[in-house]
Structure 1
Amino acid sequence: MKTKLYLILALLIAFNVSAQVSTYDAGLDGKFYSKIISEYRAKKYLMEEVIGDIENTVEFNSDALAASTAGELTTLYYKCEKKNLEGLLLGFYGDYWNKEGVVYQGFAFKNLPREEAIEFLSKIEEVLAENKSFLFGDIGNNTIVFKYDDMKIMAWSNYQSFNMRIFWGNFDSEWETTSFNRSKKRFLKKLD
């Protein structure tokens, strides 16, 4: 009888101890995970969707610029000199819903060639600057929405800066100001 009691106690303790392990303790938070997965999947996307036909060896570079804190959006720079391609990929990752309300996990890339990427990043910066007094007039409540290509951008202020949500296809990804600024700065630096 005592042996069974000790065995049950040992199992309960083992389950309790192993349940205390978190993916955050292992360094696998959303931001870290998103960057790793984005870099990995971006290479295939670039090969198939951006570079296209490959008759001879084609060299290209891709580099993750920044990931949002939630890990829903990662920006990546790419360049392929042989095919004269350069731009920004927006890597969307996370849950999305279909019209029936079924939740899926998905991953997709939005390609912005060099000039479009510059225009996109500049438009966000300009719209936020133009609407700064309205947004900070009632922090957290005053909201703006605008469109770029097939994306809708929603922005509102917090006490220090802005928060944004990017709606593209079935994705709804948060993009905080720090990640946006880091993406823009690193992207423009790569263009030099």
Structure 2
Amino acid sequence: MSHPLRVVTVNGSPHLPSRTGVVLDALLDQLRESVDVVVHKVEIADLVGEPLAATPESASARLREDLDAIERADVILAGSPVYKGSYTGLFKYVFDLVEPSALVDVPVVVVATGGSERHQLVLDHQLRPLFSFFQAATSALGIYAHTSEFAKYEIASGALLSRIDRVAQRALSAARTTTSLRELNSAAL
């Protein structure tokens, strides 16, 4: 890859700080250890209170910048706390405004945080189908982290840190093939 890896994190939490943000930052730290990255952070909490947009063209300047970064990303780290069995509504709202063909073959790591282990299926039943619509290259490994793995807003679980390291390495492997896949598939679209 001839340019720094363009990594976009999307933190679906409507509150800052958030455990979801802590996991996304830990993933970023792992990526930074291996490759030069340019990071754009989409913080849903920063969008709370902004006027809603029905189309990307009517989006605020801040949201339009976030959408452009998502659509140009080499890797997307997308996370949300679990709210009533799914990702947050504002998380989905942002992706509703993304151009449907912009994420074809873009590596996406899905992350969810919740109050107990019982919510971990949100990765497979909510987040993966969303990115499947975009034909993104969603990593086979996602990260689900529950409250007991944190001490306030710090990771307190060696097992979670190990999962983060493993997922980051997979994301890097996927990113190395992204350019050729995007070129191949854009010619076929």
TM-score by shorter chain over 0.5? no
TM-score by length of 1: 0.27
Q: Which has the higher strand share?
A: 1
Structure with bigger RCO (C-alpha 8 Å, 6+ apart): 2
TM-score by length of 2: 0.27
Q: Which has the higher helix share?
A: 2
The structure that has the greater radius of gyration is: 1
